[in-house]
Amino acid sequence: MEDALLDAGMDEVQKRRMFDDRCILVDENDRVVGHESKYNCHLMENIESKNWLHRAFSVFLFNSKYELLIQQRSAKKVTFPLAWTDSCCSHPLYKESDLIEEDALGARKAAQRKLLHELGIPAEDIPVDQIIPVGRMLYKAPSDVKWGEHELDYLLFIVRDVNVNPNPNEVADVKYVNKEELKELVRKVDAGEEGLKLSPWFRLVVDNFLFKWWDHVEKGTLKEAADMKTIHKISSLFTPSSSIFSSAFLTCSSIPPSPSSFLYTFNTPFPPHLPKVLEQMALVTTAEVCDANPQLIVSGELRALEPIFQIYGRRQVFSGPVVTLKVFEDNVLVREFLEEKGKGRVLVVDGGGSKRCAILGGNPVVQAQNNGWAGIVVNGCVRDVDEINGCDIGVRALASHPMKANKKRVGEKHVPITVGGTRIMDGEWLYADTDGILVSRTELSV
């Protein structure tokens, strides 16, 4: 039942690929040990309990000006939706052509196929012998409490002028960037501007390898810099069962456990860039929090909202400081709030429990996602459900309703409200997952 609920908003095309595609399972030395569905390979439960690791590839496509093509992942993607990433990233599949290990030919063939699928680039425009395998990287990264990545990633470089025709089911946007433009994008992500996110694998490549390899691209010496013997490994400290995930990225220090690999261990808190990519790790499991804090429940410092809310949006789990708003069948102030920078906050709207119209629609939710709001809780109705379910944000509401609200701009901001039988104050903290919604007077630690 829980899995069905979590999968309810999944795009049907993406869901079909999750079950049909068979990823290649490998050990940490990249030896094939089996195969599994893409769905099962990306479940954090399997990643953590079975240590399943699968092959992947990341393509870095440069034009003749030595600008890098980057893409924004579609909102329909199961892991890291709307994150900016490398030109094309996916998986070699468990079939004969993709299993060829000599000169990473299987990964290169899979990349050629996926460049057509994601970006509409015909195979003849990207000859396999022009795809240069540069290195391998092993990393682990949760996307949310259910999904994550544990990949041995082949890093593939190409220099070609091509025409790009993105598949909207896979790609939300594309653009070419030079070095300075990419550094500016990273700066904006670090600053939390414009709701921008980077995929964790792309960020790790940018921080550790990309710019030195980019220099070799410009000099025409990339093949000399390639090293396919080394596996750059990442050790993650995060598990989905933790009561509270640390919202800190960790700086890398290299320790050579063997002549053929390096281990990157995380040991200092990371600044805001990967919380923006992995911000769902800064979340709590509400049941565990309740079990660990009976004294706060007795004192009223920790309260649970009544189980009256439906789950919308791609983010099943979210948390943040509360901003309160009181309206009745009027959505103007709701829209105005969500046009502001969210800064990881949660907007809680007391709509009086009205089910006669919707006070939140798809466009404001898209704005909220882009402006960095963590979530929205509405004591009322929403509409444009399909659009909301495509957004990387958490939304809770009583129901959906097709009728729109009034536009009188009547309401009260930052006032005490009662939602779900619970009194909520501006500035308190809200924690939501598939078990329910908690409100705490202060930020929780367990």
Active site residues: 89, 151
362 is in an annotated binding site: yes
Cβ neighbours around 123 below 10 Å, total:
12
Q: Is 80 left (phi over 0), alpha (psi -120 to 50) or beta?
A: left
Cβ atoms 59, 178 nearer than 8 A: no
The CA-atom distances, in angstroms, between 138 and each of 257, 270, 404 are 14, 19, 49
Which helix (H) or strand (E) segment is 44 a member of?
helix 44-49
Tell me the residue ranges of DSSP E strands in 202-259: 231-234, 252-258
Cβ atoms 115, 121 nearer than 8 A: yes
* Residue found by looking up tokens 């939602």 in the block: 419
420 is in an annotated binding site: no
* Residue found by looking up tokens 């007795």 in the block: 298
363 is in an annotated binding site: yes
383 is in an annotated binding site: yes
State the Cα–Cα distance between residues 47 and 252, nearest whole angstrom.
22
Written as six digits, the tokens of 93 are: 């599949």
Bridge partners, residue 252, by sequence: 266
Q: Which residues contact 260 (CB under 8 A, 6 or more apart)?
A: 29, 229, 230, 231
Written as six digits, the tokens of 246 are: 């640390």
136 is in an annotated binding site: no
Written as six digits, the tokens of 84 are: 């900016």
384 is in an annotated binding site: yes
SS3 per residue for 206-217: HHHHHHHHHHHH
Q: Which residues contact 187 (CB under 8 A, 6 or more apart)?
A: none
State the Cα–Cα distance between residues 31 and 19, nearest whole angstrom.
23
State the Cα–Cα distance between residues 267 and 301, nearest whole angstrom.
33
Which helix (H) or strand (E) segment is 148 a member of?
strand 148-159
Which helix (H) or strand (E) segment is 388 a member of?
helix 385-389
Annotated binding site for substrate: 361-364, 383
Annotated binding site: 361-364, 383-384
Annotated binding site for Mg(2+): 384
